[in-house]
Structure 1
C-alpha cells in the first residue's frame, strides 16, 4: 500500500513539473492576436446610422483650431476652411480616405516575437495612461510616481505573457523639465521591455530628441525606420470637435520621423462628448476620421491606429468613471465601428474606479476587458494596473491583471466544435465498460493544457487547504512576485557601451 502511494505521488509530481514548464507557443490555450468579434452590441443598421451621422458632423460642423500647417495639409487634401475657422470634410474626402487607409498595421517590437499584427478582429492587451500616482498596495497608500516606478512597470510587463505591449502608464513626476521627462520616459520603457512601447511628446520640438535616442537604441536611422518599435500616443483633438494645436504639430513631426501614431480621441460622455453611448461613439468616430484624413494628408499610408477612446462620466458628481458598464459598451461599440471601416483600432478597457486591487477592481476590470476582447478590439489599452479612474497605477495590480486577462482571452477564444471536441467516442468508452468518469482519460490529460487557462495567483484550493497554507493573501502573493521580478536585472537592458553613449548624450535619471 505504501509503495502504491509513493508511485502515485511520484507520477503526480512529474505531471506537476511538466505542467509548470512553459508550453510551446503553438500549444498554448491563449496567445496574442487571437480573433474576437463574437460580441456585437450594434446591429448593422445602427452602425450605418453612426457612420452617416459622423459624416454629417464632419461635413456640417467640422473641427476648429487646426495649426497653420494642419490647415495646409487638410485643405490640400480636399477639406474646406470656413469663414468661422472650422475645417469641414466633404463626404467624398472621408470615404476616399477610408478606402485608401491601411487595413493592416504591424506595431513592431525590439524583439520580433512581440510584434503586434493589427488587422481584422485580432486582440491584444496592454497598458496605457498617464497616472500621476503609484498605488502602494501593501500600505494602501498613494504617492507621486517617478521614473523608477515607470521603469519597474516596464520590467514587470516584460515578464507577463498576457500583457502584449507597454504604452507608458505613468508620468515621471520627479522630472520637472518636460523635455527631460519625455526622453527619460522613452529610456525607462525601452530599458525595461522589448515589447512594443507607446509614448507621448509634450512639444513638437522634443520629437527630434526622442528620435535621436531611438536611432541610438535601434542602431541607426535605417534600422529604426525598418522596425519602429515605439509609437506615439497622440491626443490630436480636444473634444468636442477641436484640434489640439500643439499635439497636431507633434503628430506631424512623428509622422516625418517614421513613428506610428495612435489617433486618440478621449471625450467624456456628458461633459466633452454627448451623454448617450451612441452620441459619444459618433463624436469619437468623427474626430478620428478627421485625424485619419490628417495623417494621410501628411504621408499617405502612414501607420495609424484608429483610437476612439470615449470615457464615461458619473453624472451625479461629474467625476470620470472608467469601470462602469457604460464604459464597457462604449469600448465595444467603438471596436465594432473599427471593423465597420476595416481599420486597425484601439480603445480603453480594464480601468477601475477602485483605489486598490479589491473586489470592485476585479469586477470592473473583467467586465470591460472581456467585452472589449469579445468585440474584436485590436488594441485594448489600459487593460491592467489602472486605478482611481486613471489617477493611480499599481504594480501588483498589473501582475494580477495578467491572470485576469488570461481568463478574458480564454473567453475570446470561444468554443471549438469538432468531431474530437464533441467527444462521442470518449463518452462511449467511459460509459460502456469504462470507469464511469473522465478523470485520467487520454483526452482529458492530452488536452488539459491546450484547452484550459490556469491562474498563477488565483486561489482554487479548498477552505481546509487554504487554512493549512496559512490563508495566503492575493495581494501579498503579487507583492512577492513583484519583488522577485525587480530583484533580477532587466532582460531588456542596453549593452553597456550603448548605455554609456546614451548617458553621455542625455541626462538620464535612472541609476546605472
Structure 2
C-alpha cells in the first residue's frame, strides 16, 4: 500500500522552493528607489517657518571661516563678507542657487544595474559612518578597524540586495599616513563592490591622485566623467555656522574632477545645534543652503546632495543618541525640507547606540530606517552595521540590516488599492462553494512573491520546528553567511593587469 502524501508538507516544500528561487525585477516586492513620502512630521506651515528661519539665519548671521577661494566664489555669486569676516547670503542669492541646482542626480555604480536615481521621494539605503572600531561578536569586544575590514564590508554589501550604496563605513586605522589611507579606502571599496561608493579626503592635495586611480579603474578620464561611480562625502561646515576650510578646498577639487558631492552638515542637537528638533533642522538647512550656493558658484548645476545630518544628544550625559526617536524625527523632518526645495537629499537612519547586535540594536535601527523611508528620504545613510553611536561597525549587523531594511522598504512601498487587490472575486469564490480559506488559491500563489518580503535570516519556525532543527541561533547563522560570502573571491575585483598597474603607482595595503 502506498503511503499517503502529506499535502501540508508538500505545499510547504513547494512554497519554500518558490521563495528560494531568484526573483525577476518585475516580481520583486521591493527594489531600490521606491517612492516614500507618505509620512510628514511637519505641516506645510511648519516647513515654511523653517525655510524662512534658515534664510534669516543666512542673511543676518552667515558663516565664518571660508577659505580665500570660497570667499571669491561666494562674493562673486552675490554674498557679502562683513567686517567680522562672516559671509552673509541675501535671499536672492539663495534663490538663484536653488534655481541653478541639479534637481535630478544619478549616482552611478561601476555596474549600471546599480545606478541610483535621486529625485522626488525615491528611497535608497546604504552604509556610512567612519567608525574607528570593529565589533567582535564572538569576543563581545571592540578592536581597531582595518583596511581588510573595509574591503570585507564592501564585499558583503555587494551581495546584499537591500544595501544600495557603500559609503565608507569605517576608517582604516592600520594605515597611519592619511594620503595612503584615503587612496586605500577607494581601492578597498572599489575592489569589493560595483555599487556606488562614497568617500572623503583628509587634504585637498589627496584628490588629484585619487582621481588618477579612478580614471584607471574607469578606463580613462572621459569614461570616469561620463559615469563617476564615487562621490565625495564632504563635511564642508563645522557647526555652528562655520565653513571647514580644508574640506571646502577638497570640495572645489572634487567638483573640478567631476565627482558628485554630498554637502554634509552634521551638528549635534544641544551641543553644536540648538537642542530643539526644529532648531536643529533650521541650522542644518541654513548650512546646506550655504553649501548649495558655494557648489553652484564653482560650477552651476554640479550634482550635490543636500546632506542635512543633525544628530540627537542625550542631554543627561552628553552622549550621542543615534538610535533615539528624536533622531528618527530629525531625519524625517529633514526629508521634508529636501522635498520643499525639490533637491536630492540625504540624512541618517539605522544608527544604534547598542554595543552588539541585540534587541536594542534591532528596535533602534528599525525605528529610524522606517521613518526615514516613509518620509521619502532619497539617501538613508548609516542604515546598517553601525553600533555605539557610530564608534563601531559590525559585519554581522550589516547582514542582519539587509533583512531589517527589507521590511522597512516594504513599509515604504505601502498598500496598493485597486480592483485586483480589493479581491472581491476571490472572497466570493472562496466563501460561496469554495474551500473557505485562501491557502493555495491561484491568486495567493501568484502574489506570495510580489506582495510579501521574506527574511533571509529571521526565523519564522514554530517552536516545534525550531526545536526539531536544533534551535538555530540568529547570530551563528549570520556569522556563517558572512563566512560564506568572504570565502569567495570578490566579483568586483579588478582585472589582474589593471590591479598590477594600480599597485605600481600606489602603495596598496591589501594583499594582492
- TM-score over 0.5 (shorter chain): yes
Shift of 1:4: 4.0
Any idea what SS the aligned residue of 1:352 has?
A: coil
Any idea what SS the aligned residue of 2:242 has?
A: coil
Structure 1 equivalent of residue 221 of structure 2: 221
Structure 1 equivalent of residue 22 of structure 2: 22
Structure 2 equivalent of residue 422 of structure 1: 422
1:182 and 1:239 map into 2 onto residues whose CA distance is 24
Moved more, 14-23 or 358-367: 14-23
1:140 and 1:501 map into 2 onto residues whose CA distance is 40
Relative to the length of structure 1, the TM-score reads 0.99
1:467 and 1:331 map into 2 onto residues whose CA distance is 41
Tell whether the 8 Å contact from 1:269 to 1:310 is kept in structure 2 after alignment: yes
Structure 1 equivalent of residue 232 of structure 2: 232
Any idea what SS the aligned residue of 2:130 has?
A: coil
**1:355 matches 2:352:** no
Q: Deviations over 1:130-171 (max 9, x none)?
A: 100000112211000000000000000000000000000000
1:432 and 1:464 map into 2 onto residues whose CA distance is 35
Structure 1 equivalent of residue 346 of structure 2: 346
Shift of 1:488: 0.2
Shift of 1:8: 6.8
Structure 2 equivalent of residue 456 of structure 1: 456
2:10 and 2:39 map into 1 onto residues whose CA distance is 45
1:135 and 1:2 map into 2 onto residues whose CA distance is 55
Structure 2 equivalent of residue 506 of structure 1: 506
Shift of 1:282: 0.1
Q: Deviations over 1:268-307 (max 9, x none)?
A: 0000000000000000000000000000000011000000
**Could you list the runs of 5+ residues in structure 2 that have no partner in the other structure?**
none
Any idea what SS the aligned residue of 2:154 has?
A: helix
Structure 2 equivalent of residue 381 of structure 1: 381
**1:84 matches 2:84:** yes
**Structure 1 segment 130-149 matched on structure 2, within 5 A:** 130-149=130-149
Q: Deviations over 1:362-414 (max 9, x none)?
A: 00000000000000000000000000000000000000000000000000000
Structure 2 equivalent of residue 489 of structure 1: 489
1:100 and 1:136 map into 2 onto residues whose CA distance is 47
2:66 and 2:445 map into 1 onto residues whose CA distance is 61
Please report the RMSD computed on the Cα atoms of aligned residues, expressed in angstroms. 1.0
Structure 2 equivalent of residue 282 of structure 1: 282
Structure 2 equivalent of residue 211 of structure 1: 211
Shift of 1:103: 1.3
Tell whether the 8 Å contact from 1:138 to 1:476 is kept in structure 2 after alignment: no
Shift of 1:7: 7.4
Any idea what SS the aligned residue of 1:5 has?
A: coil
Shift of 1:17: 2.1
1:16 and 1:270 map into 2 onto residues whose CA distance is 50
Any idea what SS the aligned residue of 1:233 has?
A: strand
Q: Deviations over 1:247-278 (max 9, x none)?
A: 00000000000000000000000000000000
1:3 and 1:292 map into 2 onto residues whose CA distance is 73
Shift of 1:465: 1.4
Shift of 1:101: 1.2
Q: Report the count of equivalent residues.
A: 512
Tell whether the 8 Å contact from 1:138 to 1:475 is kept in structure 2 after alignment: no
Structure 2 equivalent of residue 243 of structure 1: 243
Stretches (4+) displaced over 3 A: 1-4, 6-15
Structure 1 equivalent of residue 37 of structure 2: 37
2:19 and 2:318 map into 1 onto residues whose CA distance is 49
Relative to the length of structure 2, the TM-score reads 0.99
Moved more, 189-198 or 14-23: 14-23
Shift of 1:100: 2.0
1:435 and 1:244 map into 2 onto residues whose CA distance is 69
Shift of 1:102: 1.4
